Structure formats: C-alpha cells, structure tokens
Amino acid sequence: MSSGENFSSRIWTSSKKKQSNIILALDPVQENDLSKYLNEIVSLLESGICAIKFNLHVIVPLGQDEMTKIIQMCHSYGIQVIADIKLNDIPSTNEIALKCLVEEGFDAIIANPIIGRLETIELVKKAHSLGTGILAIIYMSHPGASQTYGIQVYDKSEKNGIRRVPLYRLLLKYAKEAKVDGLVVGATKPHIINEIASGKPAPIFSPGLGHQGGSILQASKYGVDYFIIGRSIIQSAEPLKTLGLLQDSLRKR
C-alpha cells in the first residue's frame, strides 16, 4: 500500500499525476524470464498508466517475493496495483486470499459479488480495514457473459416482495450496499455501461477494449472512468507509441 488514503483516492491521484485513466492489463504469454519482462515493460509504460492489473497467470508463477518486488517498483512509479483473481469463495477462504494479496502489496482486488449480499459486505469491510479496495464484477466482456450476467433471477431482498431482475442488476445492488471501490463492466456492453453510469455508486472500470471489440471512445462517452487495456498495448509493435495514441484519443474526447 503506497499511502494512508483509500484505494479510490489513490488511483484518482495517480490518474491525475499521470494524466491517464488507463490501467494496463499486464497478461504476458510464456515469457522465459517473467520478472525481467515485467520490469522492462513497466519501466517502458509507467509514464502513461495510472494502474496495472495482474491476473493469476502472473501472480502464481511469480510467487510472493518476486510479486512484492514488482509491486514495489510499480509504487515507486506512482502506479496502483490490482489483483485480478475474481475472488469468489466462502468468506473464510476469501479472507485468507485477501490477506495474502495485501501482504504482497496489492492495492485492490477484483471480486465477484455472486458470493452473496452479506458476504460481499463482509469482504469489503475486511478489505477496507486492511487499506485495500474491492472492485466488483458486474457484467463481463466476453460473448457468453449474457448467458449468466444477463439472465433473469429473483431478487428476494425487496421490501415490497420478490422481483425478477437481470443478474447484473442484483450484483450491482450488492456492490452498492457493500460500498465497493469500483464496478467492472465490459466495454463490449455499452448499453449496460450507459445504464449503470447514471447514478453509479462507484467508478466504472472497463475491460474488453480493442482486442475484444469494445470502443474506447464509446466507453468514454457512456461513462467509463478507468480503461483496462492489455493486448492492444503490450502485443503491439510499439507499445509506448500505442499507449500514447490511446491517451491522445481519450484527451480529445
């Protein structure tokens, strides 16, 4: 953790300092020397990103000590670090995972409110007591997401009786009650972003841009606060130049 502020303030400060709302999804594939690769790519791109998101395929092979070193390097550049493990287990297991990631130095963790209303509230309380943020998955970006996040379910928590709602609206309700630090909504679902953005209880973090078909300008227009971008940057021929072009297009919006 890089300061006494909460995650929302820390990432906001980073985005102002870096003049960038871009979060790098750093998902390398089969690097022989993973630490060396991460060091090089972070040093190359740090000036144009406010945060980095790491998935399990970095967190697991790297191990605690190496992960901590990379996180410390990110913090030295004023970058926030997010663990994308889509935490989704029973409370006691979630708490252990949370503590391990906090010990490694992560600033925020992505979790899935499908664990339930009270469980999400409990998780966020615990995370906040440790100075860490929780970003809640509301609607994923891949094609099959509509078969789950979009299905109709019964909301039994309504005072005036049971209501049928799409699952993502129920997850949004849990996320709001739990006071999460961010909502993860796929950029491939602009109408959902548009719906959630009016009266959003927390900033919207959106993946699914570029490679997955989401448009950065449309996402921005509809109310995305932070843009999660991976392959379009790191797999481009000139990652720094690509990042600069993306920043320019966001500044001009």
Closest contact distance (angstroms) between CB of 245 and ligand BMP is 15
Give residue number: closest CB to ligand BMP: 230
CA distance 55 to 110: 10
- Least separation in angstroms between residue 142's CB and ligand BMP is 6
**Residue (of 204, 239, 226, 250) closest to 51 by Cα position:** 226
Q: Contact positions toward ligand BMP, by CB under 6 A?
A: 25, 27, 55, 84, 140-141, 184, 186, 207-212, 228-232
- In the complex, least distance from residue 211 CB atom to ligand BMP, rounded to whole angstroms: 4
Q: Which is nearer to ligand BMP, 203 or 208 (CB)?
A: 208
Q: Which residues of 221-252 are buried (b: 16+ CB within 10 A; e: fewer)?
A: ebbbbbbbbbebbbeeeebeebbeebbeebee
Closest distance to ligand BMP from the beta carbon of 188 (Å): 8
Least distance in Å: CB of 156 to ligand BMP? 26
Nearer to ligand BMP, 81 or 140 (CB): 140
Pick 92 or 107: Cβ nearer ligand BMP:
107
Report the alpha-carbon distance of residue 12 to residue 28 in Å, rounded: 26
Q: b vs e for 71-105, b when ≥16 Cβ sit within 10 Å of the residue's Cβ?
A: bebbbeebbbbbbbbbbbbeeeebbebbeebbebb
Residue with smaller CB distance to ligand BMP, 56 or 162: 56
Q: Classify residue 33 as exposed, middle or buried by CB count within 10 Å of its CB (0-12, 13-18, 19+).
A: exposed
Q: Are 81 and 75 in contact (CB under 8 A)?
A: yes
Task: Kindly report the length of the chain.
Answer: 253
Structure letter (DSSP) for residue 209: B
Closer residue to ligand BMP in complex, CB, 16/142: 142
DSSP-assigned beta bridge partners for residue 133? 108
Shortest Cβ 85–ligand BMP spacing (Å): 10
Closer CB to ligand BMP, residue 53 or residue 173? 53
